[in-house]
């Protein structure tokens, strides 16, 4: 792993899931930074350094969708992969409409994440 | 006998002394006679005794034997009937003929009346004793008194503590307490053919588990309380146990006699009805819990999904590390540790849900209300988060325990918070819940849940806890009535009001502190 490897930022409030995602993304050979909330991510000013953001949708405070809208409003084009445990079609539509490049249903497989990451990093 | 002969003694004695001549006319009349009959000497002297008092008692036996004694009914000056005990003797003259009749008399009207009243009272008591619908027992308490005197001599001053430490002493007291009498109802209640079957010692009627109640009744008796009553279990001679209301009376006069009166009422029916009611209440509470879990399904599924997703993700990462030419064992160890922790977390969530979902008899035990509140919040973690509701807790750390069934109490807290979340989610205002625990003015442990929702319509407030009353489109209207029945069954109260300052409703309940 080197500084040249893409940096993936993970935003997830559930600590154990966050750790698991960090481990998985690292196993794929990427650099990883993780944040327990969208607010922490924004405060760390990691938007421009990240090649991709993976965020949970349901979080206290700003949701994953709020985060994407905020980035778009700021003119940050970093691709955002969203993750949710919910199955409601309305939520999926809302996520895609906000500009998510990919939506993962928990629990997801490594292959599904790899596909999403490939898609996001190719963009 | 002339007055000079008689002297002062004649007027000093309290008894009536009357002397008559051979013709029956009164020749002497002392102060005692005036006192007894109401006639003074001036009125009496010279009059025939039989005319004055109604009955002379001039029996042939008197003349034959020279003396007579017995009871006579006479009439006093004011017309009252008097019962008098009379002794008469005949004094004969030199010729051997009766010269004078001397009598002494005393009134026994009051004594006779008292005796009759006592007989009647005793008769009434026996009648009552027999006729009462309750089972009544007369016990000989004297040997117990003796035992108590002995241990007091040996230095025991606190009977209650001694009995608690020595149940075998209490059993011994029962073994020496004999039954003196029982009424008909006792024969019926205890299923024997004949009252004499019950005239044994009372230990046979007291199951071991009820020993403490007997000990308490002895403490009550010796500490001078007039009576004692308690619900307990008693036993028939053939070993059948039943629920009884036991009463013991310690009136000083019978206690001095070493006799104790106890009453026993069979309350089996009432206890059974109570149990049925409790069972029904538990069934309703269970139904409401299941329905509440149904409403929380999405949140619960999310809660379980979270660790499962972590496990799946960890396993995927593990496969990656394993597929490398040189597997990274440190990464794999970390992953394994996390998988175990996540599996435990999922199991804990499922156990919590299962506790809520199963139906079992309520088990009241001492609980920390704060722990119940915190556990209830675990159910609502995702629900509140998903609806953007913040929950602020102010839990008093110094509260006494409450005696309650954990699942039912949790149900009440979950129900009230879920209602608050729903009320606020349907509304555009701020979404805050303040949950406080503390001691209220009555010294009870209280839980107060305030929200910033639209509040309750004033018209609806009095009906909120009525069955089938609901303001929700898909509500059954059973949640709050069940909450009320749970809280009231545990000896507390629940109320709802709108916050005085600004928006929102406040639901509060209290529960008595558990006795320690």
ipTM for the whole complex = 0.86
The tally of CA atoms less than 13 A away on the side-chain side of residue A45 is: 0
User: How far apart are the C-alpha atoms of B425 and B295, rounded to whole Å?
Assistant: 14
Of B301, B302, B338, the CB nearest to A19: B338
> Which residue, B437, B418, B425, is CA-closest to B479?
B418
CATH 3.30.450.20 residue spans of chain B? 3-107, 126-266
Q: Which of the four CATH numbers 3.40.960.10, 3.40.50.300, 3.40.50.1370, 3.30.450.20 does domain B126-266 have?
A: 3.30.450.20
State both tokens at A13.
């409030």
Check residue A61 and give its pLDDT: 83
Check residue B359 and give its pLDDT: 85
CATH 3.30.565.10 residue spans of chain B? 279-511
Among A10, A20, A116, the residue to mutate for chain B (most B Cβ within 10 A): A20
- Distance, in angstroms, between A58 CA and closest chain B CA? 6
pLDDT, greater one: B309 or B255 = B309
State both tokens at B176.
């020496």
pLDDT tier at B468 (50, 70, 90 boundaries)? low
> Which residue, B390, B399, B388, is CA-closest to B447?
B399
- Distance, in angstroms, between B350 CA and closest chain A CA? 17
Of A16, A23, A113, the CB nearest to B342: A16
State both tokens at B256.
């001095």
Chain A hits for B338, Cβ within 8 Å: 16, 19-20, 23
Kindly report the average pLDDT of chain B as a whole number: 87
Mean pLDDT is lowest, of B205-214, B451-460, B463-472, for: B463-472
Is the Cβ of A58 closer than 8 Å to some Cβ of chain B? yes
pLDDT tier at B195 (50, 70, 90 boundaries)? confident
pLDDT one-digit tens code per residue, B218-234:
898 888 888 899 999 99
Percent of chain B with pLDDT over 90: 34
User: How far apart are the C-alpha atoms of B122 and B72, rounded to whole Å?
Assistant: 26
> E strands, chain A, where?
7-11, 31-35, 52-56, 80-84, 102-105
In A, minimum Cα distance to B381 occurs at: A60
User: How far apart are the C-alpha atoms of B431 and B427, rounded to whole Å?
Assistant: 9
Check residue B271 and give its pLDDT: 84
In A, minimum Cα distance to B314 occurs at: A20
Is the Cβ of A59 closer than 8 Å to some Cβ of chain B? yes
Is pLDDT above 70 for B56?
A: no
What architecture is the A7-122 domain classified under in CATH? 3-Layer(aba) Sandwich (3.40)
Is pLDDT above 60 for B126?
A: yes
Is the Cβ of A116 closer than 8 Å to some Cβ of chain B? no
| Average of per-residue pLDDT across B265-280 | 84
Going by CATH, does the domain composed of B279-511 fall within 2.60.120.10? no
Of A20, A86, A110, the CB nearest to B320: A110
Check residue B352 and give its pLDDT: 87
| Average of per-residue pLDDT across B386-408 | 92
Cβ-Cβ contacts under 8 Å for A89 (sequence gap 6 or more): none
Helix (H) or strand (E) holding B170: helix B167-176
What architecture is the B3-107 domain classified under in CATH? 2-Layer Sandwich (3.30)
State both tokens at B350.
């499922």
Chain B hits for A30, Cβ within 8 Å: none
Percent of chain A with pLDDT over 70: 96
User: How far apart are the C-alpha atoms of B482 and B491, rounded to whole Å?
Assistant: 14
Of B310, B386, B390, the CB nearest to A58: B386
In A, minimum Cα distance to B324 occurs at: A27
User: How far apart are the C-alpha atoms of B2 and B272, rounded to whole Å?
Assistant: 87
| Average of per-residue pLDDT across B195-200 | 90
In B, minimum Cα distance to A58 occurs at: B386
| Contact between B379 and B414 (Cβ < 8 Å) | yes
pLDDT tier at B4 (50, 70, 90 boundaries)? low
């Amino acid at each position: 792993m080197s500084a040249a490897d893409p940096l993936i930022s993970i935003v997830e409030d559930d600590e154990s899931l966050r750790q698991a995602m960090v481990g998985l993304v690292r196993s794929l050979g990427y650099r990883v930074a993780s944040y327990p909330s969208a607010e922490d991510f924004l405060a760390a000013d990691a938007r421009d350094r990240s090649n991709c953001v993976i965020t949970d949708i349901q979080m206290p405070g700003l949701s994953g969708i709020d985060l994407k809208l905020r980035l778009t409003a700021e003119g940050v084009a970093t691709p955002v992969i969203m993750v949710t445990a919910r199955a409601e079609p309305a939520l999926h539509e809302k996520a895609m409409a906000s500009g998510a490049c990919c939506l993962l249903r928990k629990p997801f497989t490594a292959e599904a994440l790899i596909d999403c990451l490939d898609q996001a990093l190719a963009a | 006998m002339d007055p000079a002969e008689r002297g002062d003694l004649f007027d000093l004695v309290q008894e009536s002394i009357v002397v008559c001549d051979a013709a029956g006319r009164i020749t002497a009349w002392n102060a005692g006679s005036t006192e007894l009959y109401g006639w003074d000497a001036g009125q009496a002297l010279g009059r025939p005794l039989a005319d004055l008092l109604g009955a002379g008692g001039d029996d042939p036996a008197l003349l034959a034997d020279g003396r007579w004694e017995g009871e006579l009914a006479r009439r006093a000056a004011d017309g009252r009937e008097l019962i008098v005990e009379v002794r008469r003797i005949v004094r004969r003259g030199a010729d051997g003929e009766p010269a004078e009749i001397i009598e002494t008399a005393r009134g026994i009207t009051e004594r006779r009346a008292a005796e009759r009243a006592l007989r009647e009272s005793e008769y009434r008591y026996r009648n009552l004793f027999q006729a009462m619908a309750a089972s009544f027992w007369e016990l000989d308490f004297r040997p117990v008194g003796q035992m108590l005197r002995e241990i007091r001599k040996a230095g025991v001053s606190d009977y209650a503590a001694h009995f608690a430490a020595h149940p075998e002493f209490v059993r011994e007291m029962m073994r020496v307490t004999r039954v003196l009498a029982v009424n008909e109802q006792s024969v019926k209640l205890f299923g024997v053919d004949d009252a004499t079957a019950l005239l044994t010692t009372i230990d046979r009627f007291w199951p071991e588990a009820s020993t403490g109640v007997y000990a308490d009744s002895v403490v009550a008796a010796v500490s001078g309380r007039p009576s004692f009553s308690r619900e307990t279990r008693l036993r028939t001679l053939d070993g059948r146990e039943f629920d009884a209301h036991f009463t013991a009376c310690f009136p000083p006069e019978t206690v001095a006699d070493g006799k104790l009166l106890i009453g026993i009422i069979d309350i089996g029916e009432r206890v059974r009805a109570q149990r049925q009611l409790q069972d029904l209440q538990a069934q309703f509470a269970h139904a409401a819990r299941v329905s509440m879990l149904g409403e929380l399904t999405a949140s619960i599924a999310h809660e379980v999904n979270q660790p499962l997703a972590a496990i799946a993700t960890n396993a995927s990462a593990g496969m990656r590390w394993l597929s490398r030419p040189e597997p990274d064992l440190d990464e794999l160890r970390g992953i394994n540790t996390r998988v175990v922790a996540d599996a435990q977390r999922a199991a804990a969530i499922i156990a919590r849900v299962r506790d809520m979902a199963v139906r079992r008899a309520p088990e009241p035990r001492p609980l920390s209300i704060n722990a119940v509140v915190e556990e209830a919040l675990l159910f609502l973690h995702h629900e509140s988060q998903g609806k953007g509701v913040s929950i602020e807790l102010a839990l008093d750390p110094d509260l006494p325990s409450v005696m309650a069934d954990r699942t039912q109490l949790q149900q009440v807290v979950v129900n009230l918070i879920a209602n608050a979340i729903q009320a606020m989610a349907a509304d555009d205002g701020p979404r805050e819940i303040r949950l406080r625990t503390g001691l209220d003015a009555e010294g009870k442990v209280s839980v107060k849940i305030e929200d910033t929702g639209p509040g309750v319509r004033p018209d609806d407030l009095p009906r909120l806890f009525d069955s089938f009353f609901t303001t929700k489109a898909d509500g059954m209207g059973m949640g709050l009535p069940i909450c009320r029945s749970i809280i009231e069954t545990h000896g507390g109260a629940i109320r709802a009001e709108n916050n005085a300052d600004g928006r929102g409703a406040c639901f509060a309940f209290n529960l008595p502190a558990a006795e320690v």
